[in-house]
Amino acid sequence: QFPFGRRLPCDIYWHGVSFHDNNIFSGQVNKFPGMMETVRKITLSRAMRTMQDLFPLEYNFYPRSWILPEELPLFVAEVRMMKDSNPSWKPTFIVKPDGGCQGDGIYLIKDPSDIRLTGSIQSRPAVVQEYICKPLLVDKLKFDIRLYVLLKSLEPLEIYIAKDGLSRFCTEPYQEPTLKNLHQVFMHLTNYSLNIHSGNFIHSDSVNTGSKRTFSSILCRLSSRGADVKKLWSDIISLVIKTIIALTPELKVYYQSDIPAGKPGPTCFQILGFDILLMKNLKPILLEVNANPSMRIEHEQELSPGVYENVPSPVDEEVKVAVIRDTLRLVDPQKKKKKDTHLIFPHLHGVLIFFPPSYHVMYNIGKKIQAEQDQFIIPYISLNFSNTSPSVEVSEELPDTAPGPEAALPSLCLKQVFPKYAKQFSYLRLVDRVAALFIRFLGVKGTTKLGPTGFRTFIRNCKLSNSNFSMAAVDILYIDITRRWNSMGIEHKESGMCLQAFVEAFFCLAQRKYKSRPLHDQVASLIELCECRLAALHGKRLVWGCG
């Protein structure tokens, strides 16, 4: 809506595809720059691999994956090695073209030699992944979960998860993969867009039947069978947080390139679709992340051959309307203003306040909120007796908890999980700190790649070269790694070292410097050293500046 005409700035911009749909200079945009690129199958696999190298146990919710064609020899060799060490292992693999969606071009194989190495794999790279053979079945059918996640802010990181999601069902009873059933997509792939073409597809007219149901209906069923649903939710929350932690370094590089720090510009938020598979033992597995999850709340119905009409889909409506509504509530600029105007007096021990009868008074006792409303609503005063030193909040505006227009809305379906659980996960944010170093040395605003001079300056300022590691060796490291990454053909637009290449170089330096320690330890130590030396240098510069 443009109530004051298209030319005036808006508070919120809702783009259909990407950040770049329009040139935006203020307000909030519902897309992050670079999100689509960051969650593509190959980029996501690379980011997850980096995290798996650092924290193998924490990131074992992502199937082992290889990137084709460049890692084909590695894939063949690793599978052979694993088969040799465990002859009873009879794996299946799933090949997924990069940038594909809705099951497009996906197929299953039993052996690396079955990869269809047609010309297309050169022009359309893919990810090959271990296939999860023992999924949890409901009504003998495989299903996956689509969960909606709101990335409300990147810096500081704020993540919300929708309390309900969708469960999308296959339409043929599941059997573990054999050479005979590998090609049966209605048995192995849960995509709605594929299964809708099966004769067995049932459009759901309630939330707990048919081929698309709410996730909460599945949880109810599991809970009635005695499953530990609380633990399952907590595992899902940690999967989501860890995945976003893996994506943030790359997103930050795109962000600073499109919205340079210190300049006025928009802020971003984004609804992401997480596709998750549950294993028989209820362990959640990440399949993929969608930057543009479908928000349709209707489905097509064929009235007569070739004649379609859109009819409401109650299951989609139940889940998706709440996600959009609550996203708008959370990014509401008025709400932010309200928060900023709250005054807090934390050390009052007793308060006696006389209220003119027309004032609106909030008694906030612990979590229980009661309100007495009158037609005059300013100012708001809230007494908080929840701890030993009661506090009073005075605000010129409607407090969050006041029964304003929001009171008519249901409680939030989006639950904040970060920073709420930040403490548990902060040790995983190592690559984020490597990305901060990378961004610091990028130099020219708007770039995403580090030139050789920037890399040299990084080495010099962090004092990482010495008699064993000369500046000539630094240049060789830069050239070797950069050339390899640029030859992978991901992006030729800019020359120089991309973030992943820098991360690889950084890991190399860390391994060199702190031999025979676990990788995450080596990397953490090098980050600390660099941060420390840069802080000292910055301090010195400030002193010189003053002098």
Q: By the 8 A CB rule, do 251 and 154 touch?
A: yes
Q: What are the helix and strand counts (H, E) for the chain?
A: 16, 22
User: Using omega within 30 degrees of 0 as the cis cutoff, is the peptide bond preceding 135 cis?
Assistant: no
Stretch that binds ligand ADP, among 183-191, 228-236, 345-353, 356-364 (CB under 6 A): 183-191
Ordered DSSP codes for 435-469: HHHHHHH--STT--SB-HHHHHHHHHHTT--BTTB
Specify the residue, 143 or 478, whose C-beta has the smaller distance to ligand ADP: 143
Return the residue of 94, 218, 474, 503 that touches ligand ADP, per CB under 6 A: 94
> Minimum Å distance from CB 66 to ligand ADP?
12
- Radius of gyration (C-alpha) of the chain in whole angstroms: 27
The CA distance from 68 to 368, in Å, is: 56
Site string for ligand ADP, 188-227 (x = CB under 6 A): -xxx------------------------------------
Stretch that binds ligand ADP, among 101-109, 373-381, 438-446, 518-526 (CB under 6 A): 101-109
> Minimum Å distance from CB 362 to ligand ADP?
47
Residue 220: other Cβ atoms inside 10 A: 14
Return the residue of 71, 98, 164, 288 that touches ligand ADP, per CB under 6 A: 288
Q: By the 8 A CB rule, do 165 and 147 touch?
A: yes
> Minimum Å distance from CB 53 to ligand ADP?
19
Q: By the 8 A CB rule, do 301 and 311 touch?
A: yes
Stretch that binds ligand ADP, among 98-106, 318-326, 408-416, 436-444 (CB under 6 A): 98-106
Site string for ligand ADP, 132-151 (x = CB under 6 A): x-----------x-------
Return the residue of 33, 63, 112, 273 that touches ligand ADP, per CB under 6 A: 63
Helix 499-513 and helix 229-258: axis angle, to 10°? 110
> Minimum Å distance from CB 285 to ligand ADP?
7
Binding flag, residue 171, ligand ADP (CB under 6 A): no
> Minimum Å distance from CB 94 to ligand ADP?
5
Q: By the 8 A CB rule, do 293 and 148 touch?
A: yes
The end-to-end CA distance of the chain, in Å, is 55
Stretch that binds ligand ADP, among 112-120, 127-135, 370-378, 388-396 (CB under 6 A): 127-135
Q: By the 8 A CB rule, do 520 and 55 touch?
A: yes
Q: How many residues bind ligand ADP (CB under 6 A)?
A: 20
Provide the 3-class DSSP secondary structure of residue 156: coil
Site string for ligand ADP, 22-61 (x = CB under 6 A): ----------------------------------------
User: Using omega within 30 degrees of 0 as the cis cutoff, is the peptide bond preceding 314 cis?
Assistant: no
Of 132, 103, 99, the closest CA to residue 192 belongs to 103
Site string for ligand ADP, 435-474 (x = CB under 6 A): ----------------------------------------
Q: Which residues form the interface with ligand ADP (CB under 6 A)?
A: 63, 94, 96, 100-104, 106, 129, 131-132, 144, 189-191, 275, 277, 287-288
